[in-house]
Structure 1
Amino acid sequence: MNSNVLEEHNPMTAKYKVRLDRVLSVDFEMTCWEGEPPPGQFPEIIQIGITEIDNESMTRLRSESWYVRNQYSEVSPYCTALTGITPAILRRRGITLAEAGRIIAKKYGSKNKGWLAWGSDKAAIDRDCASKNVEAFFSNAFFNVGLLYSMVASDGRSIGLDEAAERFGISFEGRPHDAGADADVLAEVWCALGGLIRLPSIGPEPSNLPVP
C-alpha cells in the first residue's frame, strides 16, 4: 500500500482511503446573534474557507473560499458586523451547500484527505449536511487543532486561534472572521506546530539500506 495513503473503515460508510501527504485547513462562518437565536433558527454555515497543505514540506499550496446561501436562519446585523457578510452578498454571490460540496470534493479531493479546524467544526458541517439532505463531502479524518494546541501548550485553558497565531509570530492577512483568511492562518499555525512536534524519520538511514 502507498505509504502516503491510510485505509479507514467506518461501519456507516464504505471503505475509503485518506491521503497522508496532504491535509485541508478548513474554517466556517455561521449565522449568529448577539443573544439567543430567534425561535426556530440555529447557526448555519454561510462561508467556507479551505487552504490545502503539503504535510511533508509543511507549506501552504492553495486557498479558496465560498459564500453559502442561508436557508433556515437570518443574517443578523450582529453577524454582519462580525463577519462582513450581508444578506445581499449571499443573494448575489452565495451558492447552495450542495454546490459547494460538489466543488470542494472535486477540486480538493476532500473525501480522501484529512482536514483541520480550530474547534469542533465537524459537528457544524455534519448538522448542516443532514438538515439539507446533502451528501457529506469531508472525510471522517478530522483534527481539532485548537484542542491539540491547548493540550500541548499545557496552561490549563482553551486558547483562541488569534492567540496561537500571535505566539508563533503569525499575522492575519485580511479581515478577521473571514473563513478564507482564518483557514490560511490555521494552516500557518498547523505548519508551525508540526515543526515542533514532528517525529524524526523512522527506519534505517538510506546509506544503511542494502544495494540492489
Structure 2
Amino acid sequence: MRFIIYDIEATCWEGRPPGMVQETIEIGAFEVNAYGEVGAAFSRLIKPILHPQLSHFCRQLTNIDQSDINRSRDFSRVIQAFQDWIDVDGEPYALAAWGSFDERQLRQDCDLHRMDDYWLDPHINLKAQYRDIRSLPKKRGLASAIRHEGFEWTGEQHRALDDAENTVKIFCKLLDMWRY
C-alpha cells in the first residue's frame, strides 16, 4: 500500500461573501510507502475558472502571486497529471489529508469540471483520526499538531506542498496507527 499525503489551497475571500464558490488553486503531495519512507513529490498551481482573479485576502494568506496563477493550467489538466503521478491504476494507494476540506473541495471541483472522482477513494481524514489516536477532546489544526508532536514547522503555512510536508511528519510518526 502506498499513501499519498496531500494538501490543497483554494480561492478564498475575507468573510466569504455569499455565492462565492471556492476552487482549488494549488495541490501539493508526497508519496509515502508502507515503511514510512518518503518518496516523490508533486506540486502544481491551478487556474480557477469561476473567479480567475485571486482576492487580496487569498493572495496574502497563501502568498500565491496572480501572475503564477495566470500561467498555470486548469483543474482538469492538473488533476490528470496528478492521477498519472499517483498511477491510479497501479499499486493500491490511499489518499490522506489533514481534515475533510481537501477531499470535499476536490470532489466539488471534479463535479464542476465533469470529471470522475473515483480516484479519491480510499481517503483518510488524518485530523479526525489524530484526535482519536491522541485521545484529544477536540480536533487540532495542523500547526498545533506539529507542535504537539515536537516538530518544527517547515516552509510556509497555507502553501500546499509545505503543508503536505508537515503532514507527512505526523503521518510517518504514527504510521501504524492510521485506519484506512
In the TM superposition, what whole-angstrom CA distance separates every residue of 1:51-110 from its partner, at most 9, and x where no partner exists? 10012x212112121000011124111111110113221002x11111112211112224
Say which SS state the counterpart of residue 138 (structure 1) adopts.
helix
Question: Which of 65, 80, 87 is the aligned partner of 2:66?
Answer: 87
Contact 1:175/1:181 (8 A) holds in 2: yes
1:148 aligned partner: 129
Shift >3 Å, 4+ stretches: none
RMSD over aligned CA atoms reads 1.7
- Rg: which structure is higher? 1
Say which SS state the counterpart of residue 48 (structure 2) adopts.
coil
What CA distance in whole angstroms lies between the structure 2 residues aligned with 1:155 and 1:135? 36
Say which SS state the counterpart of residue 73 (structure 2) adopts.
coil
1:161 aligned partner: 142
Contact 1:176/1:182 (8 A) holds in 2: yes
Instruction: Give the drift of 1:152.
Output: 1.8
Q: Report the AA paired with residue 118 of structure 1.
A: W
TM-score calculated relative to the size of structure 1: 0.76
Say which SS state the counterpart of residue 35 (structure 1) adopts.
coil
**Which one scores higher on RCO, CA 8 angstroms, separation ≥ 6?**
2
1:13 aligned partner: none
Aligned ranges for residues 1-212 of structure 1 at < 5 Å? 20=1, 22-37=2-17, 39-55=18-34, 57-73=35-51, 74-92=53-71, 94-110=72-88, 112-120=92-100, 121-136=102-117, 138-194=119-175, 197=177
TM-score calculated relative to the size of structure 2: 0.89
Say which SS state the counterpart of residue 78 (structure 1) adopts.
helix
In the TM superposition, what whole-angstrom CA distance separates every residue of 1:29-62 from its partner, at most 9, and x where no partner exists? 001111123x54211100001110012x212112
Structure 1: which 5+ runs fail to align?
1-19, 199-212
Contact 1:48/1:65 (8 A) holds in 2: yes
Aligned residues: 174
What CA distance in whole angstroms lies between the structure 2 residues aligned with 1:99 and 1:49? 15
